[in-house]
Amino acid sequence: MDSSGKPVLYSYFRSSCSWRVRIALALKGIAYDQEPVNLLKDGGQQFSTEFQAVNPMQQVPALKIDGILLSQSLAIIQYLEETRPNPSLLPQDLKKRAQARMISDHIVSGIQPLQNLSMLKRVGGEKKLEWAQHYITCGFQALERILQHTAGHYCIGDEVSMADLCLVPQVYNAERFKVDLTPYPTVTRINKALLELEAFQVSHPCRQPDTPAELRA
C-alpha cells in the first residue's frame, strides 16, 4: 500500500500478465496506484536491486495490497476474488469454474511463457517472430476447439470470468506478432465482445500511465 492506503500495482503497459490484473482491478472497482516498471529501459528495470526486493522473479506484475506483496497474475486475481468477491470472476457452478481455470492455465502456462520477452531474448535474432507465431498458433488451435464447447458470449457462458482476463491480452500479443487469426473465429468473436466492456478498455496497453505517446489511444 502507498501512504494513501491504495494498492500499488507494479506494471508495464504492454505486459499481458500485468493487463490481466489491471482488468481484474477495474472489474472489481478497486482504485490503485501504478508503479511502472519498464522491461526494456536501462537493460530492463525488472532487474534492478529495488525491484528484486519487490519480486525476486524479476517479473511484472506485482501488487502491494492489504499489507502483503503478491506476484504471479493468477495468484493475484484469485486473491482479489477471495477477498473482494463481487463481481465474481469465477462461475458458481463447479464444472464451469474448473473450465475457467483450465482455459486460464492453458494461456498462462501453455502459450504466454513461450513467447514472452525473456524467452524471445534467448531465441534471438530473426527467429523471434517465427518462434512466437509458432507457439501462439499451436495454443490457439487448441483454445479454439475448447471454446467451441465452453463459450457463450464470453469464454465460459455469458458471464465474464478469469478466462476472459487471460484471453484478451493473449490475442493482443498474437496481433503484435502478426499471427493470422482467421482460423480462430470463436477466439476473435469473444475478444471483440470483451473489448467493448469498459474494464477491458481502461486497462488497455494504449491507456496506461507509461504508454509511450506514439502508442496512446
Number of domains within the chain: 2
Residue where a domain stops, chosen among 87, 110, 130: 87
Our CA angle for 139, 141, 146, nearest 5°, is: 90
pLDDT digits (tens, 9 = 90+) for 8-28: 999 999 999 999 999 999 999
180 within a domain of the structure (yes/no)? yes
Q: Tens of pLDDT along 124-143?
A: 888 999 999 999 999 999 99
Are 65 and 161 members of one domain? no
pLDDT higher than threshold 60 for residue 88? yes
Q: For residue 208, is it within any domain? A: no
Average the pLDDT over 58-66 and give the result. 96
User: Where is the domain boundary, 32, 60, 87?
Assistant: 87
Q: Residue 2 pLDDT more than 80?
A: no
Whole-number average pLDDT of the chain: 96
| Average of per-residue pLDDT across 34-52 | 93
Mean pLDDT, rounded, for 162-181: 98
- What values do phi and psi take at 58, rounded to 5? 60, 45
pLDDT at 170 over 70: yes
User: Comparing C-alpha atoms, which of 105, 212, 94, 125 is closest to residue 166?
Assistant: 105
What is the structure's pLDDT at 193? 98
CATH number, domain of 121, equals 1.20.1050.10
98 and 83, same structural domain?
no
Q: What would the mean pLDDT of 77-91 be, rounded to a whole number? A: 98
Is the domain of 164 the same as that of 143? yes
Model pLDDT, residue 188: 98
Residues 105 and 185 reside in one and the same domain: yes
* Local confidence band at 4 (pLDDT 50, 70, 90 cut-offs): low
For residues 144 and 188, the answer to whether their CB atoms sit within 8 Å is no
Specify whether 121 is located in the same domain as 80.
Answer: no
pLDDT for the residue numbered 207: 97
What does the pLDDT read at residue 1?
A: 56
Segment 141-154 shows an average pLDDT of 98
Determine the Cα–Cα distance for residues 109 and 15; give it in Å rounded to an integer.
15
42-51, 105-114, 134-143, 164-173, range with the lowest pLDDT: 42-51
pLDDT of 159 above 60: yes
Rg of the chain (C-alpha set): 17
Quick one: pLDDT band at residue 117, thresholds 50, 70, 90? confident
> If you ran DSSP here, which 8-state letter would residue 177 be given?
T
The percent of residues in the chain predicted with pLDDT above 70, rounded, is 98
Of 37, 57, 87, which residue constitutes the final position of a domain? 87
Strand partners of residue 69 = 64
Tell whether the model's pLDDT for residue 156 goes beyond 70.
Answer: yes
What pLDDT, on the 0 to 100 scale, is given for residue 153? 98
Residues 3 and 66 sit within 8 Å (Cβ to Cβ)? no
Question: Domain containing 65: what range?
Answer: 8-87
Contacts of 79 (CB under 8 A, 6+ apart): 65, 70
CATH number for the domain harbouring residue 44: 3.40.30.10
Query: Looking at the structure, do residues 122 and 189 belong to the same domain, yes or no?
Result: yes
